[in-house]
Amino acid sequence: MTTKHWQETYQALEVKYQENREANSQLIAQVNEKELELDKSLEDKVQSALDKQNEAYKAKVKSLQEKIVALETKNETLNSQLDSEKQSLGHLQKKNQQLEQTKSIQASVFERSREVFQKELTIKQELEKLESEKESLNTKISKLKKACDLYLAGTSWDATSDSCDKQDQATSRLSQVNQMISVHKMDLQDIKIMTEKLGLE
């Protein structure tokens, strides 16, 4: 996967994250508004019932028993409505909690994916530099080997006495570069496995 593709994937994830965050904010606002509406509706219903009861007491004192029966029936209805409203409120609160958890998970995944993309980009840049250095060292070692062989053979006045030392140094550096290249490639493989687990491919 190219760096450009990773950047495009990262940008797409960032857009999706922003969209999800806005959608979550709207849903949370709707839940809060619904809670307020439910509280107001319940308060109005209870107040209305109490008003009716007071009027009934004043208008029909003699029919107290009938009013008691009527009030008990009304009370049962109100309790049933109250239980229903409480259940609705509980469902909304649970939904709000789930939305908050989803938002938190999305934010965590987004941050983790951003770190992974940045690490991969850095490793690829370092790997590119090492590959370039490796190519340069191979060319340099080839020239130094010829110079060293000529110096040891004593067949050229142009070959310097430090040609062999420089060849050894370049060879040692090449070994280090090869080791670093191998480590970076293993790191990239680990990142690939990680991105598959995160579902970012």
Mean pLDDT by groups of 10 residues along the chain of 201 residues: 74 85 86 82 77 76 80 84 88 85 69 84 96 97 91 72 90 98 96 80 56
Tokens for 127? Answer: 């790997």
Closest among 137, 142, 134 to 184, alpha carbons compared: 134
pLDDT value for 43: 78
pTM, rounded to two decimals: 0.46
Domain count, the chain: 1
Cβ atoms of 74 and 81 closer than 8 Å: no
Query: What does the pLDDT read at residue 200?
Result: 58
Q: Please answer whether residues 119 and 194 qualify as being in contact, where contact means their C-beta atoms are separated by less than 8 angstroms.
A: no
Which among 135, 134, 116, 132 has a CA at the least distance from the CA of 176? 134
Instruction: Quote the domain boundaries for residue 85.
Output: 3-198
Q: Nearest-5° angle of CA 54, CA 49, CA 64?
A: 45
Structure-token pair, residue 79:
């309790």
pLDDT value of position 190 = 92
Say what the pLDDT of residue 196 is: 83
**Dihedral sign, Cα of residue 107, residue 111, residue 114, residue 116:** negative
Question: Residue 77: its pLDDT value, please?
Answer: 87
- The Cα–Cα gap between 36 and 30 comes to 10
* pLDDT at position 108: 66
Cβ neighbours of residue 167 closer than 8 Å, sequence gap 6 or more = 141, 144, 145, 147, 148
What is the 3-class SS of 47-69, one letter each residue?
A: HHHHHHHHHHHHHCCCCHHHHHH
